[in-house]
Amino acid sequence: MPVRVLKLAAVTAFCLLGAAGCPSLPDTDVLIRRHAGQAVRFESASGPLSAQKSAAILAELKRKSGDIDILEKQIALEQAIVGSPLILGNKVTLLQDGAATYAAMFAAIRKARDHINLESYIFEDDEIGRQFADLLLEQQGRGVQVNVIYDSVGALSTPKAFFERLEEAGIAVLEFNPINPLSAKTEWLLNNRDHRKLLVVDGRTAFIGGINISSVYSSGSVVRGSRKAAAKTVPWRDTDLQIEGPVVGELQKLFIETWERQRGKPLTAKEYFPALKVQGKEV
């Protein structure tokens, strides 16, 4: 059989496997009806609030939003999907673009004293990516444990040597759902990707939003296209949140749960869940 035919067959098989791994989208109407009647629960830094206090908080939220019934339904749905109550007492800072996000992230990383957990769909070997890598290596050298999760598809163009350099310095690196099924440690599904962009520093400060680690997010906005092409024209613009307060513990759980589900090497023992105090009024 000609080599060209063999290659075509291999590509076709790969595409069929990918299609087989594509889950169907959930029926949002069914989800809303299923969870609309559920009671909304809140937690503070001290633990779960009573039903009476939770109802009072919800009433205040509805008053501020014009007493619309859809707010309660939306909160109940979000609570059901994530499987945890809403957390009170947080300080949330809006970071409107990549430049603001990277500046805030770099400042937080430099202040780290215990650990840094970084999870990103895209982690490119470009100016921004190398700045992150150098700063993470610097902190690892100071005794701060750094743990990194990157997606195998999102970082497809990033050389393996980029991540090997981090690992050689003691940084724990996890490739989420490797494209090569022979490298997978869990059930292999091509379309099972990790689009989360999360940074947790010392278990006290978290960043979450839409900004990957790539120079194209440095400023501005762009329509979807090639990242490398976009970098030469108009860059992407997205938004992130910097969060301090009790909810950071929930975001930390997300990182660690992903690490464990992907069967990463045991994380170095650190203070991943410090006691968290009220930092603001955000839910």
pLDDT in the model for residue 7: 41
Task: Output the pTM of the full model.
Answer: 0.78
User: Which of 84-93, 102-111, 230-239 is most confident?
Assistant: 102-111
Residue 226 pLDDT: 43
Task: Give Cα 49 to chain centroid, integer Å.
Answer: 27
In a domain, 72, yes or no: yes
Q: Is residue 58 located within the same domain as residue 99?
A: no
Q: How far apart are CA 234 and CA 231, in angstroms?
A: 6
pLDDT at 38 over 70: no
| Residues 178 and 140 grouped into a single domain | yes
- Residues 117 and 187 reside in one and the same domain: yes
Q: Are residues 138 and 117 in the same domain?
A: yes
Largest CA distance in the chain: 73
Q: How many residues does the chain have?
A: 283
Q: Which helix (H) or strand (E) holds 130?
A: helix 127-141
Question: Do residue 99 and residue 79 come from a single domain?
Answer: no
Q: Where among 56, 87, 118 does a domain terminate?
A: 87
- The per-residue pLDDT for range 120-175, each reduced to its tens digit, is 999 999 999 999 999 999 999 999 999 999 999 999 999 999 999 999 999 999 99
d(C-alpha 46, C-alpha 19), whole Å: 46
Residue 235 covered by a domain: yes
CB atoms within 10 A of CB 126: 18
Same domain for 44 and 149, yes or no, is: no
Distance CA 216, CA 91 (A): 28
Percentage helix, strand, coil, to 5, in the chain? Answer: 40, 15, 40
Q: Are residues 179 and 250 in the same domain?
A: yes
Task: Note whether residue 276 is domain-resident.
Answer: no
Number of domains within the chain: 2
55 and 185, same domain (yes or no): no
Does residue 202 share a domain with residue 66?
no
In a domain, 106, yes or no: yes
Range of the domain at 227: 91-261
Question: Do 126 and 58 share a structural domain?
Answer: no
Q: Which residue has the tokens 């859809």?
A: 70
142 and 245 share a domain? yes
What the block records as the tokens of 241 is 């949140």
Same domain, 101 and 214: yes
Domain assignment present for residue 200? The answer is yes
Nearest in space to 205 (alpha carbons), one of 121, 94, 92? 92
Burial 144-169, CB ≥16 within 10 A → b, else e: bbbbbbbbbbbbeebeeebbeebeee
Q: Which of 48-52, 190-194, 222-226 has the highest mean pLDDT?
A: 190-194
